[in-house]
């Protein structure tokens, strides 16, 4: 795993970009890009205080956004180019959305919806709520 860069967004969040590529055979590589970002939950992101408390109970004070993209069986000589293309595509396609002021709120609300829609996955962390 090799750290490529940190990218500070206008909404105060920071992306951590990693190259987790690995050799598959003598002449080929699995090129993999991993991008992570911590999003802290704030009570103002939720419609009700109970939603905020439930989300924190399940995920803790911070949730992790993660993006992964990979290409398999890339020839050794093309590794850097493929990795750069994966990163450029991410920056072109996802970065505008992740940079928006409302992203942390929408992401937080999506974590609450995840709890409601998949309650059985989190029932051990929800207790009697």
Report pLDDT digits (tens) over 26-62.
999 999 999 999 999 999 999 999 999 999 999 999 9
* Among 115, 2, 6, 124, residue whose Cα is nearest residue 53: 115
pLDDT band at 125; cut points 50, 70, 90: confident
Report pLDDT digits (tens) over 73-116.
999 999 999 999 999 999 999 999 999 999 999 999 999 999 99
Task: Give the separation between CA 34 and CA 5, rounded to whole angstroms.
Answer: 11
In this structure, the number of other CB atoms found within 10 A of the CB of residue 52 comes to: 18
Task: Give the separation between CA 8 and CA 5, rounded to whole angstroms.
Answer: 10
């Amino acid at each position: 795993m090799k750290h490529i860069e940190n990218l500070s967004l206008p909404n105060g969040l920071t992306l951590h970009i990693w190259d987790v590529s690995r050799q598959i055979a003598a002449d080929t590589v699995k090129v993999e890009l991993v991008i992570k970002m911590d999003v802290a939950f704030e009570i103002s992101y939720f419609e009700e205080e109970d939603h905020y408390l439930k989300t924190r109970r399940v995920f803790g004070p911070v949730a992790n956004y993660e993006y992964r993209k990979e290409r398999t069986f890339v020839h050794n000589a093309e590794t850097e180019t493929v990795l750069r293309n994966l990163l450029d595509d991410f920056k072109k396609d996802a970065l505008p959305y992740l940079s928006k002021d409302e992203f942390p709120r929408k992401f937080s609300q999506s974590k609450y919806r995840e709890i409601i829609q998949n309650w059985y996955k989190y029932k051990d962390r929800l207790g009697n709520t």
